[in-house]
Amino acid sequence: MGALSAASTCFDHDLSEVHDEEVDAAADVALCKTLALLLMKYHFSQDTDQKSATTCEMWKEMGLTCRTIEMIYRCSDTKLSESFHKRGSELLPLLLTVIAHCLQRSHEESRLAQTDVSVSDISSDATYYWSMAIKASCMVIARFASDPTALVPLAQHRGLLSTLKRVSISTVVDDARFSALWTISNLAYAAENMVMIACHPGLVDGLVNIALDDSSFEARNHAMKAISNLAWMPENKIPLSERPRLLDSMVALIGSSVNKTRRHAAKALRFLSDTTAQEKVRLCQHGESIILSTLLKRASSDADRSVRECAATAISNLVCEETAELMGRFPGLLQTLSKIAVMTERGNAPTIAGETLCSLCEHITQDMQCYQDLSNSVDSVLSSNEDEHAGNNFSTRRQNMLLKLGQLQKNFGNLGEG
């Protein structure tokens, strides 16, 4: 125990070059063997009293060992990758076992807290050290997930996704939950993992519940980042679009006060909107067209340029033959697009909005009620650019958009004469 305490104190720094030397000296190997021995000792312990001094001492040893392993892995990315590929297959099962024991302790303590058992019957020392153990174990796994070469073997490791899911939806210390959620979102960044993660039983539902209901903005952010990453994969678009609560979570978090969370939600909507015509109709009609209204609001007035561009792109993606009339009749959509299209900002949102009007012109016919509104919106964009922004140096893409709108305006005029 003395050696563990000393090591925990000695290794508690952020000098990566020194941690590299510790890894070179096989400190990771020694600690891995120590953890294996402690787990075996805990497994075969005859003391079933979770409040006993013996049990508390074992948890203290496991907690200090896991924390020291986490400290060792503050090494450079190169050394981390080397250690993972050499020791990961041995260390991961140990960490997952530690986490499983900690989750069991958390469940037992929660159950006792709901009964008449007094707080004194729950060992605070043991709680402190098992909390330390699960926090450190999740941080080590998250550190491994920062290595691009580890993402696929990590996700494929037996029991890892299930364990991360259990931690993320549990009531354990927030740092452990955040690390688990961060790891899931990072694993979901690898294309090879996206379908497997999306299909893992209960995982997406857990992410959606966190995104909608969790009290922590950090947890909600990580959950939405994971959803956004999964939504990029074509095979995931339809299954994800068919989850109403998932769509609700994106609508809710695109209005978050946290910029990065809004960006994740906007990207998720952008990715999901690039789908089949049937799913585009589903997205347009969801929740009395709340997705359309939310995207219009964000594309026209969000403070973040990335959010505005993603929202505008999502609206553009939704246009097809099956959705054109629905979108054209949606209150304020055509007028809002025309207002965005004449904005003078340097981003792409105005150009995308104008291109969306062009796309709608391809599908909205003269016999539709929204035809005249579309014609008026095109006129509004062109007249505004002529009167107010003639001297602006627009991008080639924006100039091409305006040229196309000009040609469409002539078509409207010819049809009107006919």
The 10s digit of each residue's pLDDT in 336-384 is 999 999 998 778 999 999 999 999 999 999 999 999 999 999 999 998 8
Burial category of 331 from C-beta neighbours within 10 Å (exposed 0-12, middle 13-18, buried 19 and up): exposed
Residues 281 and 310 both lie in one domain:
yes
48 domain-assigned: no
Q: Pick from 269, 293, 318: which residue ends a domain?
A: 318
Residues 196 and 83 both lie in one domain:
no
Matching residue, tokens 């939504």: 231
Rounded Cα distance between 88 and 76, Å, is 16
For residues 256-264, average pLDDT: 97
> 119 pLDDT band (50/70/90 cuts)?
very low
DSSP codes of every residue in 388-414: H-TT----HHHHHHHHHHHHHHHHHHH
Task: Give the model confidence (pLDDT) of 208-226 as tens digits.
Answer: 999 999 999 999 999 999 9
Do the Cβ atoms of 211 and 258 come closer than 8 Å? no
Per-residue tokens: 396? 């080639």
Residues 8 and 135 both lie in one domain:
yes
Matching residue, tokens 């075996």: 40
Residues 71 and 139 both lie in one domain:
yes
Residues 261 and 386 both lie in one domain:
no
CATH code (residue 247): 1.25.10.10
Residues 31 and 85 both lie in one domain:
yes
Residues 237 and 296 both lie in one domain:
yes
Integer-rounded Cα radius of gyration of the chain: 28
Residues 229 and 261 both lie in one domain:
yes
Q: Pick from 148, 177, 212: which residue ends a domain?
A: 148
Rounded Cα distance between 235 and 272, Å, is 11
For residues 90-114, average pLDDT: 89
Q: Does the pLDDT at position 236 exceed 90?
A: yes
Strands (E), 247-300: none
76 domain-assigned: yes
pTM: 0.92
Residues 91 and 214 both lie in one domain:
no
82 domain-assigned: yes
Q: Count the domains in the chain.
A: 3
Residues 305 and 245 both lie in one domain:
yes
47 domain-assigned: no
Of 142, 104, 136, the closest CA to residue 11 belongs to: 136
Q: State residue 117's pLDDT score.
A: 53
The whole domain housing 292 covers: 188-318
Q: Pick from 318, 350, 383: which residue ends a domain?
A: 318
Rounded Cα distance between 196 and 342, Å, is 43
293 domain-assigned: yes
Q: State residue 29's pLDDT score.
A: 95
Residues 301 and 367 both lie in one domain:
no
323 domain-assigned: no
171 domain-assigned: no
Residues 271 and 300 both lie in one domain:
yes
User: What end-to-end distance do the CA atoms of the chain give, in Å?
Assistant: 92
